[in-house]
Amino acid sequence: MKKSADPYQLLHEGTRAFAAIEAAGIRIDRDYLARTEADIGTRIAEIEDRLRATEVWAAWARRFGSGANLRSTTQLGAVLFEELELPVVKRTATGRPAVGEEDLLTLDHPFVADYLRMRKFEKLRGTYLRGIARHVTADGYLHPSFNLNIAHTYRSTCDSPNFQNIPIREKEYAAWIRRAFVPRPGNVLVEIDYSQIEVRIAACYHRDPTMLRYIATDYDMHHDMATECFRLDPAEVTSDIRAIAKGSFVFAEFYGDYYVKVAKNLQRRIAIEKPRTASGTTLGKHLRRTGLDDPARFEAHVHDVESRFWDVRFPVYRDWRVAFWRTYLKRGWFDYLTGFRIRGVYTRNEVVSYPIQGSAFHCLLWAVPRVVRWVRLRSPRSYVVGQIHDSIFADVYKPDVPDFVAAAVRIMTVDLPRAWPWIVTPLKANAEVSETNWWEKQKYKP
């Protein structure tokens, strides 16, 4: 199969485009950022006061005296599992009860619920709000660094701050952060992302006929798997439930996880995100009704779903993964369709996932310089200001939005397959726009 011709040129052009993106910068509402940080600080203080007024804290203080520290996870474990005798879900390598978020989420206790909320607010304030504020320049712009020389997959990374790691799943926290990102005067924010790019690029490797049919007909595989994983009527699957199935079952399976880990991650996300069905029932309550709230029973169910997924739905994909891994074991290297060769010691999961993740990102990397060039020549009051693996983030002069969206989508979905004939699946890209801030974006309607 013909591969892309020049991976060096791809990185060279991408690096130059990323430099232009970094120089442009993302406008930040500093007043909003300061107000929100103060608001979150107040909420943290209120929760802390509430925690210190409980009998649990009284027992904590009795046990540790003047050394009692509400933020000590070691002390927290001792109080929860020794003083209160709550059930231990998991132990660390040293034998102590685990007190990570996913472990505490299984404990139905009001003190724990408040404690977790305090932790989240502290991370929101410290890692995100203050992290953004620390890097905002005097004129109110953020200039993250986008790198192409770090990730083993030949994907991009980002730092100062990590613009690619702004939360989106937990909507309450995502909203507080993303509202700080605003357009320049007279502009709107435009985000254009590839639709199912990793699924589409994976099919270029394995060419499983079932997968190709899914793609050709725009049939929703993630929706289908949500109905199977959670025994739901198709009409009951919401976008939130679909997202859980997509990330924690479909892509987890594609990238080499197996049913034991997949089942645990599905349960963890259900506990954290508390999604509801279309009729308003929480997914957790639905699973209790269907008898799938028991971890062992749910794990056995996911095992059955996994078996059908590979043996019935995608046997050609399954066989490709086996053959690709065996070839790597003989050679010690593997190639991307985008022309990169990966040498070294890698796990099976890495060998079957790196080509897909890397090549999918390279589609965006090919498009970004061309979109940046279009903006420079056709819309000088517009800027490409960021990228997140499968999406381009731009600050576009409002009258130029229709032309910008049309040009970017054409580059991403029409020009790219013409340049890379190995792309045998149709590519799609969707645009969202916002006149106010990143959180308020809406589907673009020409």
- Within 274-331, where are the H helices? 283-289, 295-308, 315-331
Residue range(s) defining the domain that contains residue 57: 30-135
73 with 119, same domain?
yes
pLDDT averaged over 10-residue windows placed end to end, the chain, 446 residues = 77 97 98 97 97 97 96 94 89 85 84 94 95 95 96 93 90 94 98 95 96 89 95 96 95 92 92 91 95 94 97 96 97 96 95 95 98 97 96 98 98 97 96 98 93
pLDDT score recorded for residue 250 = 95
Structural contact between residues 106 and 271, judged by C-beta atoms closer than 8 angstroms: yes
- Look up the CATH number of the domain holding residue 85: 1.20.1060.10
Burial bucket for residue 395 (CB in 10 Å: 0-12, 13-18, 19+): buried
* Tokens at 58, concatenated: 């009284």
Could you tell me how many helices (H) and strands (E) the chain has, helices first?
20, 11
The pLDDT, as a whole number, for residue 144 is: 97
Block residue for tokens 């819309």: 379
pTM, rounded to two decimals: 0.90
Whether 23 and 148 map to the same domain: the answer is: yes
Do 372 and 393 have their domain in common?
Answer: yes
Residue type, 316: V
Distances (CA, A) of 292 to 107, 288, 299: 18, 6, 9
Overall number of domains in the chain? 3
Ordered DSSP codes for 159-217:
ESS-GGG---SSHHHHHHHHTTB-PPTTEEEEEEEESSHHHHHHHHHH--HHHHHHHHH
Alpha-carbon Rg for the chain in angstroms: 24
**Per-residue model confidence (pLDDT) at position 101:** 83
- Counting beta carbons within 10 angstroms of the beta carbon of residue 364, is it exposed (0 to 12), middle (13 to 18) or buried (19 or more)? buried
Tokens of 66: 């003047």
Residue 326 lies in a domain: no
